[in-house]
Amino acid sequence: MGTHDLAKTTKRIYETKLSFFSIKTLSDILEIKSEKTLFRYIKKLVNAGVLIKMEKGKYMLADSEVSDFAIAYFLYNPSYISFETALNYHGILSQFPYEISSATSKKTAKKEFSEKFFTYTQIDKKLFWGYEKRDNFLMALPEKALLDQLYLASKGYKSINLQEYDFENVSTTKLKRYLKHYPKTRQFKSILHNLKKYI
């Protein structure tokens, strides 16, 4: 790819107004069907500092201003921000988690990008709801994030200290409505009993 081709290709990338790119997206934008040619172009774009390789088959526009939440969603989806991260976002938990935590209907996974860790905890597909779409990611509603956290804690996958939680932004009406969808295991009932002391 010559300098002229690089400038032309870069212009095309920027005109999409996208921040994230999959191999298929780049193939469509650059109108290149040959995999070998496509990867050669992508490598040039990475070397020129236009794109950043996030992981195999996933790229980000180098100078784009995107949130960690958007990165989390692009790296592994379907997923939505939940657990400690969403609880902190909604002001329920003041301590900022060192990982960006998401719920997923796929296998549990952990990823690292730009010295940050992104964790994805599998939940039952029947519980994959209770979020709202933000700019380019999905965020759990306060009540759903709380129940996700408590439910996973009842299974031994998360830790909780209810004394650290601020429940001012939690709607008890929504909480009761959402709760109907969760399996009532003995451990979960025990945690919910403790929750009643605070809400």
User: What's the pLDDT tens digit per position in 94-112?
Assistant: 988 889 999 999 999 999 9
Region 143-158 average pLDDT? 96
CATH level 3 topology of 3-61: Arc Repressor Mutant, subunit A (1.10.10)
Q: Looking at residue 180, what DSSP letter applies? A: T
Token pair recorded at residue 11: 């212009």
Token pair recorded at residue 166: 């601020």
- How does residue 68 score in pLDDT terms, banded at 50, 70 and 90? very high
Q: When comparing pLDDT for 96 and 198, which is higher?
A: 198
pTM of the model: 0.93
Token pair recorded at residue 33: 């069907």
Give me the residue spans of the domains in the chain: 3-61, 68-195
Q: What is the pLDDT of residue 130?
A: 98
Are 10 and 50 spatial neighbours (Cβ–Cβ below 8 Å)?
yes
Give the list of residues 6+ apart from residue 27 with CB closer than 8 angstroms, or none. Answer: 33, 38
Nearest to 87 by CA among 135, 185, 153, 155: 153
Whether 20 has a pLDDT exceeding 70, the answer reads yes
Are 170 and 92 spatial neighbours (Cβ–Cβ below 8 Å)?
yes
Give the up-direction half-sphere exposure of residue 90: CA atoms within 13 A in the CB hemisphere.
25
| pLDDT tens digit sequence for 162-197 | 999 999 999 999 999 999 999 999 999 999 999 999
Nearest to 172 by CA among 149, 192, 152, 151: 192
| H/E element, 131 | strand 131-133
